[in-house]
Amino acid sequence: MKKAVLLTSAAMIFSLSLSALTLGKLGDFKFEKANDNVYIMHGPEKEPSKENEGFMNNPAIIESKNGLIIIDPGGNYNVGKKILAEVEKVSKKPVIAIFNTHKHGDHWFANKSFQEKYPNVPIYALNYMIEQVKDNSAETWYGILDRMTGNLNGTKPFAFPTKGIESKQTVVVDGQTFIMRHYARGHTDTDMLIEHTNSNTLFIGDNLIINRFGAFDESSSIHENITLLEKIKKQEDGFKKYKLYVPGHGPSSGSTEKTIDPFLNYMKIIVAGAQKAYKDGIESYEIKPEVDKQLKNYHSWDAYEGQMGKHLMKAYEEVEALDL
Ligand SMILES: [Zn+2]
């Protein structure tokens, strides 16, 4: 009797481990229902690494009557195949559309794995994003992610987005309505915020990151990123109160206090520090210890050590440029 119970639980553990994407010590990842017909697999809150195989974003599924719509399928071809296998555990319906939120490869390189299975699937992104990735940013990100994860085999030739869209455009796929919003600069100059009206969900892309830090690249603006998150909070520019706010990395929730405030407040502290340094005629690194003390709540976020000083320097350059 005891033996039978043991055997059953061993079989259960075995089947459980088969039922999710497993990344070593990081554990199991799977799609979970996050809102009406919206499923999200929240990736590891870490920088890309060998351990996470380059999976650290939040791929999402919107289930329609006849198919599945995917937002940001993941960071490379190999991990994309595993993510697609997880998609198929949610539903056997075909993938009928893909959206990419911005030019960084950790969000869209896995288009490749989905396109392999669905060669004609339309892949939507901002027109300018498509220009940028074809120009050089796909190559730049291939280099970055290959160095950090060693898992980019098969990702080239790139599966670029195939359908260009513009800001304020509405895209309807099989009865599901998506409203696009682009701002000149934020996390990058190619960001597309996606509102899914059927479920009242807002996909914010990397304009919102929780529990980890990434780089602000040369196309980004910390000031504009702050303005954008404040617009969302104040429900300006057509933004509403949403049932679910989805960041590019980190947990989603229906509360702006829980989801938006941590990153927004971080950027505000960084900019205030940069402004003070600029006013006092000192360099950004000279004010770093003082700013660091105000950021105690963020010390546990992944990559804080490596990124905070860079963010402060970037904010300082923006303050300087704005003053000229
Ligand atoms: Zn990004």
User: pLDDT averaged over the chain?
Assistant: 94
Query: Is the predicted pLDDT of residue 13 greater than 60, yes or no?
Result: no
**Looking at the DSSP assignment, which residues form a beta bridge with residue 68?**
63, 95
Q: What's the CA-to-centroid distance between 16 and ligand 1, angstroms? A: 31
Rounded to whole angstroms, how far apart are CA atoms 254 and 304? 26
Ligand 1 centroid, distance to 101 Cα (angstroms): 9
Q: What tens digit of pLDDT does each residue of 105-125 get?
A: 999 999 999 999 999 999 999
Q: How many angstroms is it from 27 CA to the middle of ligand 1?
A: 23
Confidence of residue 16 (pLDDT cuts 50, 70, 90): very low
Gap from CA of 5 to ligand 1 centroid (Å): 47
Q: Compute, in angstroms, the gap from residue 253 CA to the centroid of ligand 1.
A: 20
Dist. CA 187 → ligand 1 center (Å): 7
CA of 123 to the centre of ligand 1 (A): 18
pLDDT number for residue 15: 46
Report the C-alpha gap between 41 and 99 in whole angstroms: 16
What φ, ψ does residue 96 adopt, rounded to 5°? -110, -10
At 25 the pLDDT is 85
- pLDDT grade for 129, boundaries at 50, 70 and 90: very high
**For residue 17, what pLDDT is reported?**
46
pLDDT reading at 58 higher than 70: yes
Cα–Cα dist 95/84, whole Å: 9
Q: Residue 104 C-alpha to ligand 1 middle, in angstroms?
A: 5
Query: Going along 103-198, which residue ranges are E strands?
Result: 123-126, 163-165, 170-173, 176-181, 193-196
Question: Ligand 1 centre from 250 Cα, in Å?
Answer: 13
Going from the Cα of 6 to the center of ligand 1, the distance in angstroms, rounded, reads: 45
Res. 24 pLDDT band, cuts 50 70 90: confident
Whole-number pLDDT of residue 1: 45
From ligand 1's centre to the CA of 105, what distance in Å?
A: 8
Evaluate if residue 8 carries a pLDDT over 70: no
What is the mean predicted confidence (pLDDT) over 33-50? 96
What is the per-residue pLDDT across 213-240, written as a single tens digit (0 to 9) for each? 999 999 999 999 999 999 999 999 999 9
> Under CATH, which number does the domain 15-255 receive?
3.60.15.10
- Looking at residues 176-196, what average pLDDT do you find? 98
pTM given for the model: 0.93
pLDDT of residue 56: 96
Give the tens place of pLDDT for each residue, 285-311.
Answer: 999 999 999 999 999 999 999 999 999
d(CA 12, ligand 1 centre) in Å: 37
Residue 152 has pLDDT above 70, yes or no: yes
Residues in the 5 Å CB sphere of ion ligand 1: 104, 206
Query: pLDDT for 264-276, tens place per residue?
Result: 999 999 999 999 9
Please compute the mean of the pLDDT values over residues 139-147 and round it to a whole number.
97
Residue 187: pLDDT band with limits 50, 70, 90: very high
Strands 193-196 and 176-181: antiparallel
Determine what percent of the chain is predicted with pLDDT higher than 90: 92
Q: Which is nearest to 284 in space by CA: 320, 309, 305? A: 309
Residue 263 alpha carbon to ligand 1 centre in Å: 14
**Distance (Å) from CA 152 to ligand 1 centroid:** 17
